[in-house]
A and B are shown apart, each in its own frame.
Chain A
């Protein structure tokens, strides 16, 4: 059974600092990995989708890397802003379901 872990569970940084969020998974036979953002009480917003054949994906200030063999993905957010404060979830697709991590809650202090 796939286990997805996100460390740290919470992170607080001053504005302008770069963010590094980690996601690890136990079974490397995945098809893709998706990073989501969730604001309190709201739905999930897809940030980046990395296919298993890809090493990284970029969108604006966001960059996500994937190392399938070691079961790891990292989400980098450059030059953080208070508006980046949210919970970030990673999810892997290795079967007919998504397996989610518990999320990292980020607070960016102005």
Chain B
């Protein structure tokens, strides 16, 4: 299995809702990432998990809460989002979290719309 699987593919949520994004990989990668991508912009890093521990939080608002229950699974819990949080959310993984840790594999993304 050489894929990163993200669910759901599309999500519409109100500003008072709580929802979660899910990401799964079975490549044995020990680093997993959440990125946010706005239209016509490159992806921006949000969080890095290495060996199931949060290693980087790029000053992301607390309404986004990541979780890594095991080495294959990464969640992003969403609460009280704003319309400007509408974006494509991408999950990625790599063998290790280090500059020469191999290439990145990205998922197909979750298109989030906040209404």
Contact = CB atoms under 8 A, between A and B. Distances in A.
A34 interface: yes
A28 interface: no
Contact of A93 (B6, B42, B88, B99): B99
A94 to B, nearest CB: 6
A46 B6 CA distance: 16
Size bracket, chain B contacts: 20 to 34
A43 B45 contact: no
Size bracket, chain A contacts: 20 to 34
Chain B interface SS verdict (over half): loop
A51 B99 CA distance: 11
A96 B103 contact: no
Interface string B76-94: 0000000000001010100
14 contacts: A31-B100, A32-B103, A34-B103, A41-B88, A44-B43, A45-B106, A95-B99, A96-B48, A96-B56, A96-B97, A96-B98, A96-B99, A97-B56, A102-B42
Given A44-B92, A45-B106, A46-B104, 6 more contacts: A41-B109, A43-B106, A44-B43, A44-B90, A97-B45, A97-B56
